[in-house]
Structure formats: structure tokens, C-alpha cells
């Protein structure tokens, strides 16, 4: 059936509308934008709009339509269009995907005023208010609240990094994917954090958005600031912990203006409760200043309150990926195996028995919610391996060095040599050229630049991408540059002229990583949809598609022999693929959070992996054995780089340090500090110099590493 959205249509659900291009009752078009067909009404009580389910071929979408009687109001129309504008820029699993082009459009029915529309990704789950109702409004536990608070803070960090804040966070506006990932929705109230706006806070021109119980005092007065999101976030978590609305008289005393929620969550630790109280402080100054500060506080929060006597379960909520797990798998090297299915309701909260020498994870799911927990001392592991052959084998577990660092590691403060400016948005990728003097950068400002490191000058600028450029690769002769972006596009460029050579078909989702094989005939891309695609560079033909990851592909390398592709994912696993057969040779499992970077030693013996769990691991690439766990970083490890001589691997972290490790032994060689920003990208042009960049700003900096 096709549904007509013309508000004046006498029979929107006309029985003969199926497979027709126009409504048989009123003559209005049924195939919007030439590709979306509306199938059913979902809600007519959603703010200023009506919500439908539409299909793009067999892909379900959400269509939001502004009510005609509201479109004459400039402020309401501006809020409606703002949602599409904001979402089209974010590209994060925690927000609905809206395409940069075509996400917002105007539909003109056969009669009546035009209708303003937004088409976006459909989230396959309930919002948290609905979820709580489904669970009988039973309060969630502290571990689950900790996990969800971390997820939502990560989403807010992305939103705030793009200079927006949400202004309407509440359970109704947070949805739960079937994977367990929370999704922040309804960005119609989002505001841009421009200096003009912040200077005008409190003026009559600022629109007030209010949701009873979740809106902070300053926002009620039309003076919302970025920290207003933290107040609403804290009130949301408290609602989940107590099962009571924030404006419930039992929680709020209007006579004394007191918010007394703690007695209704008596099992919550004082440390976590204090953190929540800081979020809902009436004074903005008492709340965290930034999302990163809140993440840092979550990191520092003692986990002792999450330890259960007897079974010794310790929750690592702040680094737990948002995925439901199924099946069982030990840490280390595994053939891909498919077994299992999802834990049943009868087994939720239970853990299978296993080898006591192996660290195991269990995912406790309560009504579709993922709870990450590390299981020690003879408990089993739930891992997200839904698609694995039944002949899976696991080698015997070996003892693993828990800290490969020597007792004393030299700590060196770097000296800034040069700041390279030119980009106007975040730096998303760096690629050093063979002369060790020039390098290429990709940015959120949609451009690519070639730099001369010795002078700091821009040699070449490439323009043509319509959104953020996320990844780069170079041909062996360095005459051709390949780039990919958040809209799934892949371009080939001529280095010397900056001209675009060719376009690849690309992905249907943002592309995070690119690599080419040693002879340059093949280009490999990894997407946020978990797929890996192999392309012929000569004719841009798609050769093969690898599937198996259950989360975004964050990092990808091709071994120097050109035989294997190695990928790391947000699903915590590393997969080794045969490039010729497209088969998954092995799954390496052992990290407790997202895999952010991988690197292979030039001789192909060792694999290094870096994770949001704050560790690196050194693997024997032939056996899949974890040789060392490299500790020392105090926050997410974001990037790895191997020196030209192949003897050292460098790791950069959100803790604003870079650490050097010996490739052959895993021993820590040096700690470099003084960068003053998270280290998301590293280049090693020489033994005494390194280049860093961060996704938090547009500057690229060159540093001296001489003590």
C-alpha cells in the first residue's frame, strides 16, 4: 500500500495507490524525490510535525512532515530545517543518519500549500520512555546507568565538536537500537554555538525550548548554553535510576526548590550520585564545562562500586562498545565461527563456564539493553560473533605480560617547531610521503592539502568532496592520491595538479579508512557500516565486498606481501582476511573496547592494536597469540605509527601523550608530553621529529623530540 500525505486528500489510503506514481484519490505524487514511497502513519503528535514510515526500495526510512499550519511561522520553520542541517553533519551511530543532499526537501501536493519534509534513517527500537514503560517503569541499575551516561556523553561530544548543542535531551528523544546503541534524536531545537549566539543569550531573539523536569533554569529563561545539555542528561539518567519523572512531587520540593532523588535510588554509590548532582546543578558554573571533561570524570570515577563480592565482576562501562553480544569466544586467535544466536531471556544475567586463565566478557541484556562487564576467575565470555563457521578452533591460552613497560621510562617534553594552519575544521587523516618532507592532510572542511613540512607551506589543495574527508591513500609512485568522505564517495586525484581523475562507486555510508595493496592495483576501503570493499584502481570496478564486522571499520592495513587485509572495528574485534579469496582467516579478540588503530611490523611478524580500553596489544600475527599488553596510557589510544626503520611503533592518545615502543620486545622506550591536545594522528618524518593533529581543531603541529 502507498499512503498519500496530502492533508487535503479525501482518501489517503486509496486501495489502488500501490505501485502507482500518483494518488488515485487526489492526484498528488506518491514517489517523493523519485525514490521514497510512504507506507504508513507512525505519529501525528510529534512536536510540529507528522511522522511516517517511508521506503527507499526495501530500506525503511522516517519521513517527518511539518504541519502546513506551522510552516508560516518563520521560527518553527527554522527549527524544523535546523534538524536536517545538524544531522547531515554529524555522521555518528548515536544520531539518525540524514544524507547531506536531499535530507530536507519541499513536497508539493496537487492542492494546498507545499509541505516541508525531512527524510532520515529509521532507528529500529523504542525511545527510552517507551522502553521504561515496557519494563514496568522498574529503575535501571548503576552499571547500566554508567554505561548509558558514557554513550550519551560521547554523542554529545560529537555534537558539541560540530558547534551545536541539543537543548531538548529527555527520554522521549533517546532511542535504543536493537544493537544496544543509544541514539539521540529530534535535533529540531539544536542551536549553533556561534559567538554571536552566545553573545545574544538572554535577548528577545532567542527561542525558548522547554520540557518539564528536564530543562535547566537558564534555558527556561531563554539563555541556553552548551552546559544546558548536561543538566538534561543528568535528569534523564536520574529518571532511569528512579523510575520517577523529575517533576514528580516525591522528588521535587517546590517550597524549598530541592531535588531529592537519592532516597529513590538507595543502592547508587555516593561517587556516582555526586557526579549526577553536578550535572543537574542549578548553576551552570557547577556543571562540567565540556563533554570531554565529563568523559574524563567518568574515566576517573572509581570502579570499586561495580565489583561484586563472590563472582568478582568489574564493569568497564566508560569504554564498553554499544553492542549486544552473542555466542562465546575466548581471547586471542580464532577461526571465524557462527554459532549461537542471542542470549534468551531465561539466560540473561548468567555466564557460561570457561577457562580460568582467560579474561572473559559477558554481555548482560535486560530488555534489549547491553551491559558490558568483564568476567574474571573462571567465568565465560559472550562475544559478538554472529556469523562464524562451525569449525571454529581456539588454541590453548598462554600467559600474557600484563605490562610490557620497564620500571623507568624516559619522559620527554616536546618542543613546538611549527604550527601549520590552513584547514578550517577537524583534521581527519594524515599521510606522510616517501621523501619524508611532504605530507597530505584530510579535513572536516571538505578539502585535502599537501604540505611542505620544512617550510609549513601548502603545496597543493584538492577540492571537490561535498562533506568531511575521512581517509587517504597514495599510489606506490605517489602520483595519485585517493580520498574518501563521510558521504561514501571515493575520489582519485593527480598529486601534482590537484585535478580529480576518477570517482569510485563508493559505500552507502561514511568511509573511515583507505589502503592500497603494494603494487597499487587494488584499493581497499572500510566503512561505518562494517563492510570492507576492494576496488581496481585502473577502472574503479568493485572486486569484492567483505562482511563480518558488527560495527564500524575504524582501521585497516594490507600486509607488505599483499596477501592479507587486517581490519579493526568498533565491535572490539580484529579480523584477518585473505585478499584473494575474500575469506576471513581469523578473528583476534581480546580488547575490552573499540579498536581504534592497528599497525604491522615491516617483517610481518607482529601486529599492534590500539583501543579505547587505554591499552595496546602486541600479537604474533602467524599464531594470533597476544604477546604483550602494553599499558601506560590513561585514556583512549587513538593512533599508531611505525617508524621507517621498522624498529619503533608510536601510539597517540586522548591523554595528550605519545609513547614509543620497541617493535621486537614490546618494551616502552619513551613518553612524550606537552602537546596540549588529544593526539589523534601521528607522522614520524625523522628520529627527532614528529607531527601530530587532533580531531578537536584544525591545526597540524610539528614537534622536536630531542630531550
pLDDT value of residue 212: 66
- Whether 416 is covered by a domain: the verdict is no
> Are 575 and 621 part of one and the same domain?
yes
> Are 62 and 182 part of one and the same domain?
no
Confidence of residue 359 (pLDDT cuts 50, 70, 90): very low
Domain residue limits at 108: 31-121
pLDDT tens track for 119-153: 988 887 788 988 887 666 778 888 889 989 999 99
Beta strand pairing call for 689-693 and 700-704: antiparallel
For residue 587 the three cell numbers come to 578473528
> Are 176 and 281 part of one and the same domain?
yes
Residue ending a domain, among 580, 610, 637, is 637
- Whether 63 is covered by a domain: the verdict is yes
> Are 482 and 513 part of one and the same domain?
yes
Distance CA 700, CA 449 (A): 12
> Are 100 and 145 part of one and the same domain?
no
- Whether 137 is covered by a domain: the verdict is yes
> Are 262 and 320 part of one and the same domain?
no
pLDDT tens track for 315-330: 333 333 333 222 222 3
Average pLDDT over residues 284-299: 90
Q: Report phi then psi at 154, rounded to 5.
A: -60, -40
pLDDT value of residue 557: 96
Residue of higher predicted confidence among 539 and 49: 539
Looking at the DSSP bridge assignments, the partners of residue 294 are: none
Please say if the pLDDT value at position 11 is more than 50.
yes
> Are 207 and 286 part of one and the same domain?
yes
pTM of structure: 0.52
DSSP 192-207: E--HHHHHHTTSTTSP
Residue ending a domain, among 81, 99, 121, is 121
Pseudo-torsion of CA 578, 580, 583, 585, nearest 10°? -20
Tell me the CATH number at 620: 2.130.10.10
Are 371 and 427 in contact by the 8 Å Cβ rule? The answer is: no
Select from 111, 125, 100 the least CA-distant residue to 182. 125
Report the number of distinct structural domains present in the chain: 4
- Whether 599 is covered by a domain: the verdict is yes
Residue ending a domain, among 121, 141, 174, is 121
For residue 137 the three cell numbers come to 517503569
Distance between alpha carbon 175 and the CA centroid of its chain, in Å? 16
Q: What is the Cα Rg of the chain in Å?
A: 26
Between the two ends of the chain, the Cα-to-Cα distance in Å is 72
Tell me the CATH number at 78: 3.30.200.20
> Are 263 and 179 part of one and the same domain?
yes
Q: In Å, what is the CA distance from 87 to each residue of 120, 135, 396?
A: 9, 30, 47
pLDDT value of residue 302: 52
Q: In Å, what is the CA distance from 494 to each residue of 109, 469, 477?
A: 46, 17, 11
pLDDT value of residue 407: 53
- Whether 616 is covered by a domain: the verdict is yes
Sheet holding 415-420, edge to edge: 415-420, 700-704, 689-693, 681-686
Sheet holding 104-107, edge to edge: 31-32, 36-46, 49-56, 59-66, 115-121, 104-107
> Are 222 and 363 part of one and the same domain?
no
- Whether 392 is covered by a domain: the verdict is no
Looking at the DSSP bridge assignments, the partners of residue 600 are: 607
Tell me the CATH number at 192: 1.10.510.10
DSSP 15: T
Confidence of residue 408 (pLDDT cuts 50, 70, 90): confident
Confidence of residue 181 (pLDDT cuts 50, 70, 90): confident
Beta strand pairing call for 411-413 and 668-673: parallel
pLDDT value of residue 616: 96
> Are 283 and 313 part of one and the same domain?
no
Amino acid at each position: 500500500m502507498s499512503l498519500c500525505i496530502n492533508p487535503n486528500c479525501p482518501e489517503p489510503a486509496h486501495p489502488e495507490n500501490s505501485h502507482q506514481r500518483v494518488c488515485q484519490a487526489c492526484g498528488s505524487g506518491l514517489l517523493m524525490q523519485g525514490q521514497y514511497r510512504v507506507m504508513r502513519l507512525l505519529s501525528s503528535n510529534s512536536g510540529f510535525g507528522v511522522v511516517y514510515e517511508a521506503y527507499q526500495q526495501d530500506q525503511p526510512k522516517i519521513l517527518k512532515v511539518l504541519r502546513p499550519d506551522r510552516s508560516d511561522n518563520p521560527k518553527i520553520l527554522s527549527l524544523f530545517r535546523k534538524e536536517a542541517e545538524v544531522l547531515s553533519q554529524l555522521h555518528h551511530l548515536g544520531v539518525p543518519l540524514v544524507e547531506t543532499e536531499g535530507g530536507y526537501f519541499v513536497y508539493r501536493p496537487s492542492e494546498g500549500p507545499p509541505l516541508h519534509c525531512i527524510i532520515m534513517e529509521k532507528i529500529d527500537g523504542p525511545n527510552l520512555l517507551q522502553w521504561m514503560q515496557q519494563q514496568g517503569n522498574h529503575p535501571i541499575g548503576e552499571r547500566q546507568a554508567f554505561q548509558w551516561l558514557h554513550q550519551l556523553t560521547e554523542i554529545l561530544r560529537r555534537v558539541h565538536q560540530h558547534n551545536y548543542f541539543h537543548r531538548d535531551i529527555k527520554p522521549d528523544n533517546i532511542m535504543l537500537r536493537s544493537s544496544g546503541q543509544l541514539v539521540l534524536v529530534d535535533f529540531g531545537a539544536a542551536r549553533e554555538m556561534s559567538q554571536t549566539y552566545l553573545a545574544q543569550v538572554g535577548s528577545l531573539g532567542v527561542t525558548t525550548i522547554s520540557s518539564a523536569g528536564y530543562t535547566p533554569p537558564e534555558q527556561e529563561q531563554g539563555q541556553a548554553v552548551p552546559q544546558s545539555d548536561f543538566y538534561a542528561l543528568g535528569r534523564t539518567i536520574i529518571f532511569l535510576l528512579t523510575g520517577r519523572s523529575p517533576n514528580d512531587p516525591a522528588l521535587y520540593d517546590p517550597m524549598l526548590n530541592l531535588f531529592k532523588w537519592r532516597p529513590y535510588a538507595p543502592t547508587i554509590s555516593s561517587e556516582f550520585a555526586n557526579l549526577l548532582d553536578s550535572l543537574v546543578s542549578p548553576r551552570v558554573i557547577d556543571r562540567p564545562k565540556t563533554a570531554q571533561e565529563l568523559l574524563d570524570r567518568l574515566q576517573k570515577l572509581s570502579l570499586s562500586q561495580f565489583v561484586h563480592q563472590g563472582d568478582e565482576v568489574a564493569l568497564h562501562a566508560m569504554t564498553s562498545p554499544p553492542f549486544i553480544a552473542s555466542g562465546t569466544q575466548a581471547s586471542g586467535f580464532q577461526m571465524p565461527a557462527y554459532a549461537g544466536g542471542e542470549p534468551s531471556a531465561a539466560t540473561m544475567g548468567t555466564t557460561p563456564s570457561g577457562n580460568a586463565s582467560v579474561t572473559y566478557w559477558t554481555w548482560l541484556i535486560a530488555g534489549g539493553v547491553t551491559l558490558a562487564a568483564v568476567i574474571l576467575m573462571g567465568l565465560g565470555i559472550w562475544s559478538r560473533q554472529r556469523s562464524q563457521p562451525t569449525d571454529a578452533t581456539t588454541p590453548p591460552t598462554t600467559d600474557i605480560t600484563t605490562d610490557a613497560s620497564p620500571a623507568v621510562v624516559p619522559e620527554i617534553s616536546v618542543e613546538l617547531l611549527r604550527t601549520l594552519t590552513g584547514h578550517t575544521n577537524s583534521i581527519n587523516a594524515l599521510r606522510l610521503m616517501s621523501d619524508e618532507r611532504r605530507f597530505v592532510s584530510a579535513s572536516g572542511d571538505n578539502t585535502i592539502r599537501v604540505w611542505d613540512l620544512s617550510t609549513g607551506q601548502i603545496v597543493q589543495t584538492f577540492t571537490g568532496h561535498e562533506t568531511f574527508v575521512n581517509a587517504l591513500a597514495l599510489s606506490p609512485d605517489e602520483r595519485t592520491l585517493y580520498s574518501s568522505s563521510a558521504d561514501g564517495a571515493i575520489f582519485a586525484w593527480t598529486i601534482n595538479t590537484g585535478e580529480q581523475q576518477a570517482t569510485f562507486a563508493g559505500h552507502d555510508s561514511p568511509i573511515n579508512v583507505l589502503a592500497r595493496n603494494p603494487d597499487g592495483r587494488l584499493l581497499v576501503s572500510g566503512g561505518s557500516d562494517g563492510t570492507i570493499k576492494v576496488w581496481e584502481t585502473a577502472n574503479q570496478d568493485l572486486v569484492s565486498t567483505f562482511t563480518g564486522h558488527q560495527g564500524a571499520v575504524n582501521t585497516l592495513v594490507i600486509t607488505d606481501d599483499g596477501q592479507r587485509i587486517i581490519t579493526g572495528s568498533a565491535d572490539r574485534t580484529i579480523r584477518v582476511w585473505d585478499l584473494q579469496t575474500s575469506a576471513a582467516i581469523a578473528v583476534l579478540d581480546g580488547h575490552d573496547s573499540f579498536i581504534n588503530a592497528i599497525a604491522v611490523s615491516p617483517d610481518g611478524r607482529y601486529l599492534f592494536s590500539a583501543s579505547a580500553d587505554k591499552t595496546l596489544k602486541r600479537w604474533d600475527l602467524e599464531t594470533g597469540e597476544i604477546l604483550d599488553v602494553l599499558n601506560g596510557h590513561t585514556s583512549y589510544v587513538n593512533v599508531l605509527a611505525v617508524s621507517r626503520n621498522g624498529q619503533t611503533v608510536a601510539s597517540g592518545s586522548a591523554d595528550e601523550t605519545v609513547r614509543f615502543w620497541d617493535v621486537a620486545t614490546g618494551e616502552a622506550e619513551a613518553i612524550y608530553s606537552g602537546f596540549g591536545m588529544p593526539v589523534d594522528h601521528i607522522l614520524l618524518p625523522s628520529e627527532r621529529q614528529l607531527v601530530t593533529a587532533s580531531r578537536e581543531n584544525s591545526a597540524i603541529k610539528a614537534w622536536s623530540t630531542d630531550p
